A and B are shown apart, each in its own frame.
Chain A
Amino acid sequence: QVQLQESGPGLVKPSETLSLTCTVSGGSIRSYYWSWIRQPPGKGLEWIGYIYYSGSTNYNPSLKSRVTISVDMSKNQFSLKLSSVTAADTARYYCARHEGGRNGWCDYWGQGTLVTVTS
């Protein structure tokens, strides 16, 4: 059974960079796409972007200038960096396995981690 676990700081200061890591267990990161998705308090889900295990990426255009997703196959992990954060970036951040290519779906999810942007 594939399991995903997000890790990283729960508090980030405005203008700084949010950094999260997703550790995949129970399966290899190889041959799949891996997504980051977030949900601000009281709002819906927002796709941030995904990375293929080979390193190719696709980002939400609204966040593209601030987002970097990377993969570390040796650790079976992938990571999210979001720069110049503001209060609007406060959200629960989920990592997920993205099956089926660009029109794919997320079949395994992490439990999510709440990140609050505050001074």
Chain B
Amino acid sequence: AQTVTQSQPEMSVQEAETVTLSCTYDTSESDYYLFWYKQPPSRQMILVIRQEAYKQQNATENRFSVNFQKAAKSFSLKISDSQLGDAAMYFCAYRPLSGTYKYIFGTGTRLKVLA
């Protein structure tokens, strides 16, 4: 079965500093997507960044970047120049490219940004 594990329930970062959130996953598939979603108190999940497994280059979106290690099944999120608005729950997610395209989420990491 496919699983996603986030081992950091909570992380803190000083404003303007850099923080890395960890995620590991397990799958026997070779082609899939990985995602990081942000969930603020409004509850609406917002896509932060997406990585396609067949691409070796790590995805970047402005202050957000990933370190994708396919062999190790690791997918960490780096947030640079942290801002107060980055405070939220962050979920790592996996989606296979076969079957029903079911998204599997980790248990989340709560990020606190300290002023």
Tell me, yes or no, whether A binds B: no
Please give the residue numbers on chain B whose beta carbons come within 8 Å of chain A beta carbons, in ascending order.
Answer: none
